Amino acid sequence: MSKLDALKSRARALGLWAEAAPLGIEEAERTRFSAWLAAGRHAGMAYLARTREARLHPERAFPWAKSVLVLAAPYAFPEPPSPEGGLRVGRVARYAWTRDYHRALEGVLAELEHAARDLGLRAKGYVDYGPLLEGPLAAAAGHGWIGKNTLVLREGFGSYLLLAVLLTDAEAEPKAPAPPRCGTCTRCLSACPTGALDALGLDANRCISYWTIETRAPIPLSLWEAFGNWLFGCDDCQIACPWNRFAEKGGYWRGFSPEPELAHPDLWDFVRLSNRAFSQKYGDTAFARPGRAGMARNAIRLLWALGHGALEAYLEAAAADPSPTVRKAAAQGFFSLGRPRLLDDPDPGVRTFARGLWG
């Protein structure tokens, strides 16, 4: 057994799917990613453009590395029941039903890095935050193909996969790529409520996940209705995918534990908890990415879309929130009700934003 095979076996013993390939990105994928960036489809995720060269040429960014071991953790959880009490409406993307997957997978990577050292190998692991294109690397390693929803699709399972990578200085044999098996199906494209998916891939400027997770900016009013009942992220393109009918039969990695409080959070937490209390409750969850203010902003849009009876009380609480992000969302909410508010907010940014809504 080669040293790389030994690492694969160790990862599989920990319950993960593990495949390896030489480190590198195919020319077709480099062309696609460059065109995607040039078209501005990464929206406000400027770090993707800043790290373009490293992502396109990881063998240059990590000259010591010869191979990549790609780990895939399935997360096809059954939906937990909603807890009693609180304001629990809207939907949360499935991956966020468990505590932060980065931390869970980092523990595995640390163990594999230690095992690599014992084998005389150099190794370095990343979960999302490295300047790497995890999807194309996973496809090159043999996990599956990149679907029309831009996610890795594994035959016999689907796309509910979270990825981590371990760079090593071991040699790896190249593999023939998995044939794309989407065929003529375009269900994911049709299911996207904002039209963010098309033949060119994902346009983050219209993506629900981008707006509810990756940015603190106000969500454009033109998109409010299309976001429907999503509070955090969106799984519509995955739900529509026929391959995902296999996913729940495949289960989920034992390192994950879905929680009712994360699948069905109390929206009042986002305007009633202090930042410190929010961090104590949600600091090790996916909600920490947009933060308390971003989650309150999301909740305002959601309550408006649902025509929920708690909207006005929520807006009043948001209008007094210490965060300008939340108060801007409150101004949008009041505007949608035809009520000018926060036009004289003490923060000039909020004041200008609120006045701009009214032309």
AA letter at 194? T
Per the listing, tokens 């410190």 go with: 276
Give the whole-angstrom CA distance, residue 171 versus residue 173: 7
Do residues 73 and 98 lie in contact, with contact meaning Cβ atoms separated by under 8 Å?
A: no
Do residues 5 and 38 lie in contact, with contact meaning Cβ atoms separated by under 8 Å?
A: no
**Residue 158 — left, alpha, or beta (φ > 0 → left; ψ -120 to 50 → alpha)?**
left
Identified catalytic residue from 5, 100, 128, 347? 128
Residue 164: strand pairing partners: 71
Could you tell me where the beta strands, DSSP code E, fall in the chain?
17-22, 67-74, 91-92, 123-126, 145-146, 152-153, 161-168, 197-198, 201-202, 230-232
Q: In sequence order, which residues have a C-beta less than 8 Å from that of residue 249 and are 6 or more positions away?
A: none
Does 128 participate in catalysis according to the annotation? yes
Q: Which residues are known catalytic residues?
A: 128
